[in-house]
Amino acid sequence: MIKIIRRLTPLFILFFFGMAAWLLINTKESPEQKEEEKPAQIVDVVKVEQQTVSLNLPSYGVVTPKNKTQLVTEVKGRLLSISPNFVAGGVVKKGEQLAMIEPSDYEADLSQAQASLAQAQAALEEEIARGEVAKNDWKGYDGGLPPELGLRLPQLKKEQANVKFAQAAMARAERNLERTIIRAPFEGIIKTRMVDLGQYVTLGTNLGELYDTRIAEIRLPLANNDLAYLESVDKPDTQVTLSASLVGKEVSWTGDIVRSEGVIDADNRMVYLVAEIKDPYLRESKHQGQLPLKYGSFVTAIIKGRTVEGIVKLPRHIVRNNQVAVVSSDNIVEVRDVNIVRTDVDSVYIKDSLLDGERISLTKLSSMRSGQSVKILGEADNSGSKSPQTDEDKEQHLAAKGEQ
């Protein structure tokens, strides 16, 4: 019997502990179930402020002269002298002598033309005298009107024609002599010089290129849709501000849009407006610290557009799919569609969609939905105390800003 009890003892022990475990499992209390409360998202906001703005149009272009010309010879010969200003970068005045072609041959031609004219005039005077003698000889003629040949009228006309021919020849000789001096047709800057002293030039030889410094032009490309923001499409007479980086600082100039080229470029589908800047090289007047607008400079342009009232200007990153997150006075989000009239690199211009004083969330739009409750950074909560800006709050806010 003792042996049997010893062998069954482990079974009794297992049975005892099994029953104890069963009792513990069936008599334990269930834990209290509570809904997990998600903390309200912390957002930063900006207040809406309607304003009257000019819908300016950005563009860019390269500064070029309105007028430029190739200096070419109208006579041939050897270059006798070249002006010190006739070099690349030289600034010249209208009518200034740039170069001279050896004039001796043209002076001789002028002398010959003057001599021929003197001979023709002497022959004309002689023929006039002969005509007077012929008139006197025909005074007693009773056969009617005397013949023209008898009065030497054809001979007179011939000598008059010879005088005109000699006068034209002398005028041509005078012009050719004047053309031996190459003069600047307008105030400008020498772009290039292509000849040297002593070089023989022929008719039509290119001596160099001259750029007019009185007016500069800039072709400014715009998308065809952007023309709607101009006061006038056909005559876009408006102001433009040009800027460029010179000598390590940003410099700006003010000009005018004078015309539209009126066609759409087949390569880039853009329309070009032409801006003018008067006196770009400051030849007429110069103020302290003012810098010239040199030809070939790349400039950015801001073209003044139409003035529109009731515009709300917002940072571009807070508008997604033409929607913004409006936060009500009780901190409830409304995802609202807005009417965008224009966008640029940094901003979005909205009209007839937002009211003054409304709050727009600066937090990423995709993380919010209509009806969501949010917490405004730094705003007092319902208890009257200010929402603490703990490190956790700040990190959450910075993370939301970083996602933008």
Last residue of a domain, one of 264, 280, 306: 306
Residue at 116 is within a domain: yes
pLDDT tens for each residue of 114-140: 999 999 999 999 888 887 777 776 676
Is 352 found in the same domain as 294? no
Q: Where is average pLDDT lowest: 27-36, 279-288, 311-320, 353-362?
A: 27-36
Let me know if residue 32 belongs to a domain. no
d(CA 386, CA 378): 6
Q: Could you report the per-residue pLDDT of 346-368, keeping only the tens digit for each?
A: 888 888 888 888 988 887 766 77
Contacts 24+ apart (CB under 8 A), 280-285: 280/63, 280/213, 280/215, 280/216, 280/253, 281/91, 281/189, 281/213, 283/91, 283/187, 283/213, 283/214
For the ranges 72-81, 264-273, 347-356, the maximum mean pLDDT occurs at: 72-81
Overall number of domains in the chain:
3
Question: Is the residue at 292 inside a domain?
Answer: yes
Closest by alpha carbon to 277, among 301, 309, 305, 249?
A: 301
Q: Which of 284, 306, 328 is the last residue of a domain?
A: 306
Q: Is residue 404 part of a domain?
A: no
Domain co-membership, 107 together with 147: yes
What burial class does residue 324 get, using C-beta atoms within 10 Å of its C-beta: 0-12 exposed, 13-18 middle, 19+ buried? Answer: buried
What's the CA gap between 257 and 234, in Å, rounded? 11
88 and 140, same domain (yes or no)? yes
Are 191 and 278 members of one domain?
A: no
Q: Is 312 found in the same domain as 275?
A: no
Contacts of 380 (CB under 8 A, 6+ apart): 386, 387
Query: Rounded CA gap, 305 and 52, in Å?
Result: 12
Alpha carbon distance 119, 403 (integer Å): 98
Do 284 and 319 belong together in one domain?
no
Judge if 74 and 175 occupy the same domain.
yes
The CATH number of residue 317's host domain is 2.40.420
Query: Whole-angstrom Cα distance, residue 230 to residue 54?
Result: 10
Residue 392 lies in a domain: no
Compute the distance between CA of residue 101 and CA of residue 199 in angstroms, rounded to an integer. 9
Phi then psi dihedrals of residue 362, to 5 deg: -90, 0
Q: Which domain CATH number covers 289? A: 2.40.30
* Residue 352 sits in the same domain as residue 367: yes
Same domain, 295 and 345: no
Please check the confidence at residue 274 and state whether its pLDDT lies above 90: yes
pLDDT for 28 beyond 80? no
**273 in the same domain as 251:** yes
Q: Is residue 294 part of a domain?
A: yes
129 and 247 inside one domain: no
CATH number at residue 157: 2.40.50.100
Cα of 381 vs its chain's centroid, Å: 51
307: phi then psi, degrees, rounded to nearest 5: -90, 125
Q: Report the distance separating Cα 331 and Cα 250, nearest Å.
A: 44
pLDDT of 202-260, one tens digit each?
Answer: 999 999 999 999 999 999 999 888 887 887 776 778 889 999 988 778 889 999 999 88
Q: Last residue of a domain, which of 256, 282, 306?
A: 306
Tell me, yes or no, whether 236 and 349 share the same domain: no
| Lookup: tokens for 177 | 């002599």
Give the structural domain span for 302.
Answer: 214-306
> Global pTM?
0.67
Question: Distance (Å, rounded) from C-alpha 117 to C-alpha 125?
Answer: 12
